[in-house]
């Protein structure tokens, strides 16, 4: 398994003070930015111009999570805008292999996300095309939801498939990750952890990043 990384989501941060909020998580490995379009998910957040500005305002690499319809059209632009990693949802992508290649061609890490009810097995042969697989542990759309334990077997199966194919693909979990749930995810084989409300509801977000990392590494 790869090195443990924590990528706080700014969804539940003060969106009127994005640069300041990102400055509170200096020891994070990435900043997770949730892009929602009110079509793929019933919520609307921010888009390309904001991501572009944010990428310029922080030294932390950006981990863009696109919860949008038609990622085939938009995802490469997020790579071009300076995101180090770009995640699209397979449920929304028309041509996931082509899309992953286009993201990589723009110099970013290509990542594919699965909603809780989307199985991993049909995508086994795509793993080599991906730098990261995101297994959602809540229904995408909102921060602060309860972690879905029913996703744990899929994390385990994804890790087994990665081992079987000998790929270096990172395995990310997103949704309800906290000090209560992170160990279960790590034990199942995840190595990249998104945490939104757990980090930004903490009095000291940066310290929470360190605590989450320590739990996942234990
Ligand atoms: C939900 C987003 C998550 C969200 C996580 O659709 O993809 O990144 O911000 O927030 P928590 O950690 O509060 O579940
Ligand atoms: Zn997310």
Q: Give per-residue pLDDT as tens, 84-119.
A: 999 999 999 999 999 999 999 999 999 999 999 999
Which positions ≥6 away from 132 have C-beta within 8 Å? 85, 87, 109, 110, 111, 112, 169, 170, 171, 172, 192
Ligand 1 centroid to Cα of residue 176, in Å, is 7
- pLDDT recorded at residue 1: 43
Q: How many domains does the chain have?
A: 1
What is the CB neighbour count within 10 angstroms for residue 59?
7
Residue 131: pLDDT band (50, 70, 90) is very high
Tell me the per-residue pLDDT of 145-165, one tens digit each, with 9 for 90 and over: 999 999 999 999 999 999 999
The mean per-residue pLDDT over the stretch 118-136 comes to: 98
ipTM, two decimals: 0.99
Are β-strands 132-136 and 109-114 bridged in parallel, bridged antiparallel, or unpaired?
parallel
pLDDT at 79 over 70: yes
Q: Is the pTM of this model over 0.95?
A: yes
Site residues for ligand 1, CB cut-off 6 Å? 9, 11-12, 32, 34, 65, 138, 140-145, 174-177, 194-198
Tell me which residue range forms the domain holding 150.
5-217
Residue 31: pLDDT band (50, 70, 90) is very high
Choosing from 44, 86, 196 the residue with most ligand 1 atoms within 8 A of its CB, the one to mutate for a pocket test is 196
CATH code: domain of residue 11 = 3.20.20.70
């Amino acid at each position: 398994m790869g090195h443990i990384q924590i990528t706080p989501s700014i969804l539940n941060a003060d969106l009127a003070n994005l640069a300041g909020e990102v400055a509170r998580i200096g020891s994070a490995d990435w900043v997770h930015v949730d892009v929602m379009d009110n079509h793929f998910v019933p919520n609307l957040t921010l888009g390309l111009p904001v991501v572009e500005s944010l990428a310029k305002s922080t030294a932390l690499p950006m981990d863009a999570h696109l919860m949008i319809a038609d990622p085939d059209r938009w995802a490469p632009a997020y790579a071009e805008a300076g995101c180090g990693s770009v995640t699209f949802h397979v449920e929304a992508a028309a041509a996931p292999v082509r899309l992953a290649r286009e993201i990589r061609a723009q110099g970013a890490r290509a990542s594919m996300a699965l909603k809780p009810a989307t199985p991993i097995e049909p995508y086994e042969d795509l793993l080599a095309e991906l730098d990261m697989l995101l297994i959602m542990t809540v229904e995408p759309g909102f921060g602060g939801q309860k972690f879905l334990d029913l996703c744990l077997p899929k994390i385990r199966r994804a890790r087994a498939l990665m081992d079987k194919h000998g790929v270096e693909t990172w395995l990310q979990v997103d949704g309800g990750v906290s000090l209560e749930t992170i160990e279960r995810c790590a034990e199942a084989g995840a190595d990249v952890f998104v945490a939104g409300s757990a980090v930004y509801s903490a009095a000291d977000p940066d310290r929470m990043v360190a605590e989450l990392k320590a739990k996942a590494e234990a």
